[in-house]
Amino acid sequence: MSLELTDVTLTYPDGDSRLTALDRVSLYVPEGSLTAVVGPSGSGKSSLLAVAATLITPDSGTVRVAGRETAGLGRGELSALRRSRIGIVFQQPNLLPALTAAEQLEVMARIDGRPKAAARERARELLDAVGLAGQADRRPHQLSGGQRQRVNIARALMNDARVLLVDEPTSALDRERGAAVLDLITELTHRTATATVLVTHDPHHLAGADQVVRVADGRLTAQGTPVG
Ligand SMILES: Nc1ncnc2c1ncn2[C@@H]1O[C@H](COP(=O)(O)OP(=O)(O)OP(=O)(O)O)[C@@H](O)[C@H]1O
């Protein structure tokens, strides 16, 4: 199931006037595909992710997540949609220090009201998928930066996310570990058929993308298949 933004405009208060962060942005991300979003600092990339994540409601335009129109949904319905359909991976893993890798994932399913045994099984499956089967019982301080980011990615997929939103996932990693995390995101996008949006500064990340979108001053300036 896809992600679709149509004619989205978002403004923030800016003194006596308003700053336009997104200006009539339209973006279609089919299921099982990866869209890379690039652009200078302050161009609107994080705002685009926040709108796609339904964390911010745009001034105008529509956001469809996994076939569902989000306009008109109440706060409870939006948070249920986020929990069950949207996976978000931020730059820093934000793992809970006291929990093991498996527990970081299980807690997501428990919040969603899923039974403990099913949560445990799904967590093991996902840790296996991200190459951490042997590290399931480790706490964050016993994992490397790259391993922590893998736990973060697995956690985002715990509740069968159909839309995966990823913000600069490799900024805290060296080139080699960053490339491995990127490969993992690409592979999981294809395997679990998520509509994935990846905000990145790294030109190396564009090669695996199905679509590259450039943002400048809140506008999408180019769309197409990756170059180089
Ligand atoms: N909460 C806010 N209130 C007011 N202005 C904001 C807010 N968040 C972002 N902005 C402004 O909106 C514009 C777009 O910001 P955004 O964070 O989306 O850019 P970005 O491309 O993600 O930047 P970066 O690469 O530095 O993270 C910028 O001019 C920024 O200053």
Express each pLDDT in 50-101 by its tens digit: 999 999 999 999 999 988 999 989 999 999 999 889 999 988 778 999 999 9
Range of the domain at 71: 3-224
pTM above 0.80, yes or no: yes
- Count other Cβ atoms within 10 Å, centred on residue 225: 9
Mutate to test the pocket of ligand 1, among 17, 20, 25, 47 (most ligand atoms within 8 A of CB): 47
How far is ligand 1, taken at its centre, from the CA of residue 14, in Å? 12
What ipTM does this complex have?
0.96
pLDDT at 86: 94
Give the mean pLDDT of 28-35.
Answer: 96
Residue 41 Cβ < 6 Å to ligand 1: yes
Tell which atom from ligand 1 comes closest to the C-alpha of 48: 18
CATH at 208: 3.40.50.300
Q: Distance, CA 11 to ligand 1 centroid (Å)?
A: 10
Count of domains forming the chain: 1
Q: Which of 1-5, 98-102, 142-146 has the highest mean pLDDT?
A: 98-102
The rounded Å distance from CA 127 to ligand 1 centre is 34
Give the sign of the dihedral formed by CA 164, CA 168, CA 171, CA 174.
positive
Instruction: Using a pLDDT cut of 90, give the percent of the chain over it.
Output: 65
Going from the Cα of 139 to the center of ligand 1, the distance in angstroms, rounded, reads: 33
pLDDT in tens, 191-215: 999 999 999 988 787 888 999 999 9
Ligand 1, closest atom to CA 201?
A: 25
Indicate the pLDDT class of residue 228, thresholds 50, 70 and 90: very low
CA–CA distance from 39 to each of 173, 202, 215 (Å)? Answer: 20, 10, 5
